[in-house]
């Protein structure tokens, strides 16, 4: 029997086997575009456009920077890429559905996360850092539910079960301007994500190196 494969051909011309990814199967531009075309909240939005995972990633990074200014570039890079597997997979699963997808889905995501961590030299999360990241991610979710999707604050708490207050001010407006909470067009989200990624890579001096086994 031939080995199972799940090829995705990327805009760069590279191809990624989602079942057996390596750190050298995509370009940064491919990742940025994938995240900009992958949508949160099942693609639903009260605005004319849905919210991309690229914009969400920059939102969480901006929130963490507000709370802990002057962090190391490696920590910011890890924050920016916390959902990077979704851009390669092209799918942001609603969190409550993930347990129903089973071990095969969890293994697929874990392999993508490992390839991403190796490519970008991401430091592992400590327990304390992970807790702070998840808090920021959940605050972002609370805010997106109310400001982007259109849930009321009461529904956000009692229907969605998110125990955090939505933000009153959009941290991305101070950086990029525009209308608070408005989802960006995919090409805008891709370019802004890519610019931040390239800046953090330069600051952290992270250069991917091929393993001998991958040459």
Query: What letters, b where the CB count within 10 A reaches 16 and e where it falls short, cover 55-93?
Result: bbbbbbbbbbbeeeeeeeebbbbbbbbbbbbbbbbeebe
- Rounded Cα–Cα distance for residues 94 and 189 (Å): 21
202-213 tens-digit pLDDT: 998 744 545 444
List C-alpha distances in Å: 1 to 4, 5, 18, 25: 9, 12, 19, 25
pLDDT at 210 (0 to 100): 52
* Tokens linked to 42: 């099942």
Distance of alpha carbon 83 from alpha carbon 91, whole angstroms: 10
d(CA 203, CA 18): 29
How many angstroms separate the Cα of 102 from the Cα of each of 3, 94, 97, 113, 208?
21, 14, 10, 17, 32
In angstroms, the CA 42 to CA 55 distance is 15
CA angle 179, 185, 189 (to 5 degrees): 90
Walk along the chain (215 residues) and give the pLDDT tens digit of each residue: 567 889 999 999 999 999 999 999 999 999 999 999 999 999 999 999 999 999 999 999 999 998 887 788 999 999 999 999 999 999 998 888 888 999 999 999 999 999 999 999 998 999 999 999 999 999 999 999 999 999 999 999 999 999 999 999 999 999 999 999 999 999 999 999 999 999 999 998 744 545 444 43
Strand partners, 16: 8
Quote the pLDDT of residue 2: 63
pLDDT at 212: 42
**What three-state secondary structure class fits 172?**
coil
pLDDT of 70: 74
Domains of the chain: 17-205 (1.10.3210.10)
Q: If we measure between CA atoms, which residue out of 48, 22, 18 comes closest to residue 186?
A: 48
């Amino acid at each position: 029997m031939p080995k199972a494969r799940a090829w995705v051909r990327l805009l760069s011309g590279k191809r990624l086997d989602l079942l057996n990814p390596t750190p050298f199967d995509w370009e940064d531009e491919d990742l940025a575009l994938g995240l900009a075309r992958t949508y949160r909240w099942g693609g639903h939005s009260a605005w004319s456009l849905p919210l991309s995972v690229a914009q969400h990633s920059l939102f969480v990074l901006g929130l963490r920077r507000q709370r802990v200014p002057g962090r190391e570039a490696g920590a910011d890079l890890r924050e920016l890429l916390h959902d990077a597997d979704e851009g390669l997979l092209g799918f942001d699963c609603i969190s409550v559905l993930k347990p129903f997808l089973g071990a095969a889905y969890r293994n697929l995501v874990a392999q993508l996360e490992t390839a991403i961590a190796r490519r970008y030299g991401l430091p592992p999360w400590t327990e304390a850092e992970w807790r702070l990241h998840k808090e920021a991610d959940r605050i972002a979710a609370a805010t997106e539910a109310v400001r982007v999707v259109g849930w009321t604050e009461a529904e956000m708490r009692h229907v969605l079960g998110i125990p955090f207050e939505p933000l009153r001010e959009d941290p991305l407006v101070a950086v990029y301007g525009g209308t608070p909470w408005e989802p960006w067009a995919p090409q805008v989200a891709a370019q802004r994500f890519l610019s931040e990624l390239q800046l953090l890579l330069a600051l952290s001096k992270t250069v991917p190196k091929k393993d001998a086994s991958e040459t």
